[in-house]
Chains A and B, each alone.
Chain A
Amino acid sequence: MSGATQTTEQGATLSFDNVSVRYAGLTRRALDHVSVVAEPGKMTAVVGPNGSGKSTLVRTLLRRVPLESGRVTVGGKDVAALDARDLARRIAIVPQREEPVLPLRVEEFVALGRHARRSAFGGMSADDRAAVASAVDRAGIAEAIGRRTDTLSGGEWQRVRIARALAQAAPVLVLDEPTTFLDIAHEMAVFELLDELASQGQTVVLVSHQLNLVARFASHIVLLHRGTVAAAGDATTVMRGEILERVYEWPLVVTRDPAVGAPALLPLRGSGRHRERPSS
């Protein structure tokens, strides 16, 4: 990483080795000997039903939950050995939810992404400013720059948060459900952005409910079920009816989507009362 105009980061491998997490007071582990490897240049997606441990995986990176066993490494370095600032320089995380309590201007908000690289009193260096500009540009929020964070729409807010993570200029980018509350157009924009970042060499890890979009964009998918890995691999390997039905406990059918031919999931049942049934 060098140069004032660096806009892409070379990724580093993020690896969860046999990670187990148990929340206090619960008998079942939230994560039970889970191993996930996310490589640079790829979009790795972690999917699974509610309660399967997806968000817990992200929380272990935030170090908000202790590991019962196993370890997490980034670029070969054990995460536990890094202090908060070092970690933030290597992994940029966009948490699931965030409410703006004390409003800032979007520009200031995105600039907070540089916190781990700035000293207590120093101003914004040329590198800092370039990183922020590049992040704003890639996240597509340039017109919102002067606005206050509490005046943004849902979609803009999500993209501003992604911009902040991009400003961190870390080799690994982890996003926890980044497309909740987004409409189709914004959702696609986010996925295309992540796809582009991955293709430029960054390590992108995505936790998502959107199985179909994940199937379309992600090159490596990890399916979690009750804290363990039920399946891992590319879309064709993981997106199979028998695996998904078992995990999601709902009847479904897997077809191919007409746009790019990726596996697509169709949940069955649903009454269809308000629609004309095709004659059987």
Chain B
Amino acid sequence: MNEATRDRTDHAAHSPWIAWGVGALLLLVVVILGLSIGAVPISTRDVINALRGIGDPSTIAIVRDLRAPRVLLAALVGAGLASSGGALQGTLRNPLAEPYLLGVSGGAAVGAVTALAFGVAQPALITLCAFVGAAIATVVVTAIARVVGGSADTKLLLMAGVVVGAFANAAILVALADAPPERLRGALFWMMGSAADATWPAVARCAGALLLLGGILVWRARDLDVLSLGDEPAAALGVDVDRVSRQLFLVASWLAAATVAAAGLIGFVGLVVPNIARALGARQHRPMLLMSALYGAVLLVAADLLARTLRAPADLPLGAVTALVGVPFFLLRLRRLAA
């Protein structure tokens, strides 16, 4: 709490309409770039034709079945991670909270690696196992917090999440320690994060999860506004703190789990984007979640573009690209906070 009244340039005073407009424009730009750029040079007009089904069959297949699902999946995953992060930051009252702190990534990786270890090859099945693993991990986290503390105390949730995550990592390492090289490679590739294998069914599944779970978060956004004030103030304002925090925590975590299941482990988006949205003036949770979804999509489509062009023809892991982009941004933001 500041004693002196700060006369800071208040970004909150800027109109959020600009932020929305810029975000929408950026999304359009990165999507078009994402559809147009790739190993095979395709002009924008040909891209549009291909989307409509006109042109050379290779080009149509490339645009419609390679680039389009990939770009869309990246956008959906980015939106999902960012809104999940925003909701978790509100629920846990910590602007540095990230979905991966809370057992989601560990659980999903355990699920996927277990499936791969059993020789499961179908991507849809691996995705399902990843999601189930993450869902179980988050339930375990809330159960631990409840058993230990008697309530969904946010500090307990964080600690339980870290513990479950550490346990999951250990389990994965043990499972992979004596795996044959191909399994190991497959597991690592899955974990590194990539939108490269995007297919339309995967896009549909991810969209479904985003609409359902993200929709619940947007619906309950007012509760998040109140929850983020603190346990006592929230209770004073009429929110059943234990029940609502637990519900929102689970929904937000499952949304992150769906993104991990679809595209592997991609960090930083859930941490950084909600802070951007708040800095752009979306302070209350309903606009913040929606703006986070928008900017999360932009960030990840851009990151995916970088991932496949920076060291073409190799495909860099998405998680590494987002970290490389996210860290400098985060340092800038920290300077502002510390100032």
Contact = CB atoms under 8 A, between A and B. Distances in A.
Nearest to B4: A153
Given A59-B232, A101-B230, 16 more contacts: A24-B150, A62-B232, A84-B235, A84-B240, A100-B1, A100-B229, A102-B89, A103-B12, A104-B283, A112-B237, A115-B238, A115-B239, A150-B2, A152-B2, A154-B1, A161-B233
B238 A98 contact: no
Given A102-B278, A148-B10, A148-B12, A88 B236 contact: yes
A120 B238 contact: no
A28 interface: no
Interface of B: 1-6, 8, 10, 12-13, 89-90, 93-95, 150, 219-220, 222, 225-226, 228-233, 235-240, 278, 283-284
Contact of B228 (A63, A102, A168): A102
A112 B219 contact: no
A64 B231 contact: yes
Given A93-B236, A98-B232, A112-B226, A120 B6 contact: no
A154 B6 contact: no
- The listed residue with most A CB atoms (<10 A of its CB), out of B12, B13, B90, B150, is B12
A40 B237 CA distance: 21
B222 to A, nearest CB: 6
B232 A102 contact: no
Nearest to B225: A112
B95 A101 contact: yes
Contacts, number: 105
Given A98-B233, A102-B228, A85 B238 contact: yes
A87 interface: yes
A11 to B, nearest CB: 18
A157 interface: yes
A164 B229 CA distance: 12
A157 B238 CA distance: 21
A118 B12 contact: no
A64 B231 CA distance: 9
Contacts of B232: 59, 62, 64, 93, 95-98
